[in-house]
Amino acid sequence: MRVLVALSGGVDSSVAAAEVLRAGHEVVGVTLRLWGGASDSGCCSVSDVEDARRAAGQLGIEHHVFNYSDEFDAAVVVPYVDAHAAGRTPNPCIECNRHLKFDALLRRAEVLGFDALATGHHARVVDDAGVHRVARGADPAKDQSYVLYTQTDDQLRRVLFPIGHLTKAQVRAEATALGLRTADKAESQDVCFITRADGRAAFLSERIELHPAVVTDVEGREVGRTDAVELVTIGQRKGLALSGATDRRFVVDVDVPGRTVTVGGVDDLLCDGVELGSVVWNGAPVSGGVTAQTSAHGEPVGATVEASVMGRTVLRWSEPRRRVAPGQSVVVYRGDLVLGGGIVAE
């Protein structure tokens, strides 16, 4: 089988390529050039491309670089900026997987005559009564199934996650045994196009106007101000310099047009459920009891999926939970298997 392996320059993708080679397949490595701006981490820096090239050389496989910077800007960066401008909290890693790695790259792999695409994600592909699903990886601390919920049966039939059965420690041990330069490489941060030096505020301020806002409590009393309402997210506790009460207060509402942020106590954050848009089900739509995850490494919680109305789906929590910021994803599971998910609506 001919397999195209996405090499990010990290230890996970390097060992994924080694695992595919060990299985006896013909392997070619490819690194995606996604971000043309400044980058000091993630899979977008010049050093990461060089690390990927060197790992490919050590493994004795061919290596290419595909330029998807225009597609990345359109599908990931622009929506990220637009979401913040509207007061939502986006998840760019999910959109990168949705549009770039498992759409554009997967289609290109097929055109080039490859039988499968392999990546270094900590997840597994499981045949669930004829439907191929993403399943949790072996290492709970590194599981990446949450960011892969948009993948469908058709895509997963052509996708390999060669390290999904390994823990991170086992991956590093394997890289060390193979003498790979990436064996001790540090983890990358999530938002690869935002530098550690400048941060999110600087990145967004170059692209949209940031507006100061009044911070009020749930009774409408002013308790502070913030320099940029577009940078505030539901559930946020730090960074608002609030006056008055000594108890912990959290952001419970962000009104960008009204230039107002509302804060309250833990109880003010609680809700009975969440409404999802842009819902993706792998197979038939799901209803009834499930577990759901509201962040990449969050604790799965009990929920009930209610019938979809006008293209949206409501999840009811088994007990009241803190609100999830609009723009974030909620992923639905049955055990370790990903059934689908969606983006939290306004």
Which residues form the catalytic set?
96, 192
The neighbouring-strand residues paired with 134 are 125
Q: Per residue in 37-59, is it b (16+ CB within 10 Å) or e — as a string?
A: eebebbbbbeebbebbbbbbebb
Q: How many CA atoms lie within 13 A of 106 on its CB side?
A: 20
Tokens 């505020």 belong to 201
List C-alpha distances in Å: 171 to 10, 165, 213. 11, 10, 46
Neighbours of 130 (CB within 10 A): 7
Of 91, 148, 101, which is closest to residue 125 (Cα–Cα)? 148
Of 339, 314, 342, 346, which is closest to residue 330 (Cα–Cα)? 342
For residues 323 and 235, give the distance between their C-alpha atoms in angstroms, rounded to a whole number: 7
Q: Determine contact, residues 38/48, Cβ cutoff 8 Å.
A: no
- Is residue 75 classed as helix, strand or coil in its secondary structure? helix
Of 71, 45, 46, 54, which is closest to residue 13 (Cα–Cα)? 54
